[in-house]
Amino acid sequence: MVIASTFALIAGFMWAAAVIHTQKMEGSIPSDSSITPLVFPSNTSGQSSPEISAPDGTPPGKKELPAPKLSQANTDAGEDYSISLLAEQKRSAQIFRENPEAGKQVALTFDDGPYAIWTAEYLKVLEEYHVPATFFLVGTRAEKFPQLVKKIAAKQCEIGSHSYQHAQLTLKNQQALEKDFQRTIAAFKKAGQEIFLFRPPYGAYNRAVLDTAETFGQIGIGWNVDPQDWNTKQADLIVSRILSRVTPGAIILLHEGRKSTWKALPKIISGLEQKGYQLVTVSQLISGAPAVEQFSQTEVAAREQEKTGY
């Protein structure tokens, strides 16, 4: 009798599986493959929001999340859950990337300094051409070279924060995030500077990062022209990338500590001026400009695929 019962049970399971398979084939039950799990970069901050990889840094590692439950309203409207989730963040996270209303003005920006030799060399070129720039400095380097921080300010250039250690801020919890801002502010105060501009390392940010920056009185700054000077030693290539992509009100991303960037700088400045552009600081450029929201499905896909660095 035990054997007979076992065979009966197996037969029952086989019949049920066959019915379900038939219903799937007829479309009455959705196949598992119709629900695609969302894939976002890993988040160690304990928050549920997706992290965005950077346009100038190595994307964080990815992990697969379980498929979300779609509401009836979402499924009836055919709405993509991942787009809804990004739209929710889009309402909160804002950053300045450009100001088209500024007309024929652009801002040169330099990340990752100060450097013992190169910062002074960059300043010499700017002084020779009588143009300002905005330097986004790393807190630990500002502590190491406070005299260079003061020199940048003395040359009528602008200073902003690029975090304390150039860490991936989107991976920090709120307490660690606030500590990073506090240490950076303290580093600049030792050099006699207050900072009101903030550029997140790797260009990576989320709502928590920008909200924290605002709490500390800092405005988030991105860019819309990236010649990827970190990825080439060809000065002329850096120049051509900028001059071919520049638009009115652009914020141009460059980096300190690179000979090729320093060699390109005179041609960048003269080329922009020949096109009729006036070089100004970021603060001058964005004065009165609306913040630009950066969360779009296209950009997320591009950030996921782009391998970048300093």
Q: How many C-alpha atoms does 102 have within 13 Å on its Cβ side?
A: 27
Tell whether the model's pLDDT for residue 17 goes beyond 80.
no
The distance in angstroms from the start CA to the end CA of the chain is: 73
Tell whether the model's pLDDT for residue 49 goes beyond 90.
no
Query: Highest mean pLDDT range out of 18-22, 24-28, 64-68, 246-250?
Result: 246-250
Of 35-44, 178-187, 246-255, least confident by mean pLDDT is: 35-44
- Among the options 111, 112, 180, 229, which is catalytic? 111
Q: For residue 289, what pLDDT is reported?
A: 58
Q: Is the peptide bond before 266 cis (omega within 30 degrees of 0)?
A: no
Tell me how far the alpha carbon of residue 114 is from its chain's centroid. 21
Across 47-59, average pLDDT: 35
Q: For residue 94, what pLDDT is reported?
A: 79
The question of whether 255 is a catalytic residue gets the answer yes
Q: For residue 117, what pLDDT is reported?
A: 93
Residue pLDDT, tens place only, 160-171: 999 999 999 999
Q: Given pLDDT bands bounded at 50, 70 and 90, which one contains residue 68?
A: very low
- Predicted TM-score (pTM) of the model is 0.67
Tell whether the model's pLDDT for residue 224 goes beyond 90.
yes
Write down the domain spans for the chain. 100-305
Residues 187, 140: contact at Cβ < 8 Å? yes
Specify the CATH superfamily of domain 100-305.
Glycoside hydrolase/deacetylase (3.20.20.370)
Q: For residue 219, what pLDDT is reported?
A: 95
C-alpha span between 168 and 206 (Å, rounded): 11
Across 232-244, average pLDDT: 97
Residue pLDDT, tens place only, 257-293: 999 999 999 999 999 999 999 999 999 999 855 554 4
Q: Given pLDDT bands bounded at 50, 70 and 90, which one contains residue 90?
A: very low
Q: What is the 3-state secondary structure (H, E, C) of the chain?
A: CHHHHHHHHHHHHHHHHHHHHHHHHHCCCCCHHHCCCCEEECCCCCCCCCCCCCCCCCCCCEEECCCCCCCHHHHHHCCCHHHHHHHHHHCCCCEECECHHHCCEEEEEEEEECCCCHHHHHHHHHHHCCCCCEEEECHHHHHHCHHHHHHHHHCCCEEEECCCCCCCHHHCCHHHHHHHHHHHHHHHHHCCCCCCEECCHHHCCCHHHHHHHHHCCCEEECCCECCCHHHCCCHHHHHHHHHHHCCCCEEEEEECCCHHHHHHHHHHHHHHHHCCCEEECHHHHHCCCCCECCCCHHHHHHHHHCCCCC
Q: For residue 25, what pLDDT is reported?
A: 38
Top-confidence residue, 8 or 152 = 152
Tell whether the model's pLDDT for residue 214 goes beyond 70.
yes
Tell whether the model's pLDDT for residue 118 goes beyond 80.
yes
Q: How many other C-beta atoms can be found within 10 angstroms of the C-beta atom of residue 299?
A: 14
Across 156-181, average pLDDT: 97
Q: What is the mean pLDDT of the chain?
A: 74
Q: Give the CA angle between residues 295, 299, 303 to the nearest 5°.
A: 115
Cα separations in angstroms, 83 against 23, 63, 127, 297: 30, 18, 47, 7
Top-confidence residue, 196 or 12 = 196
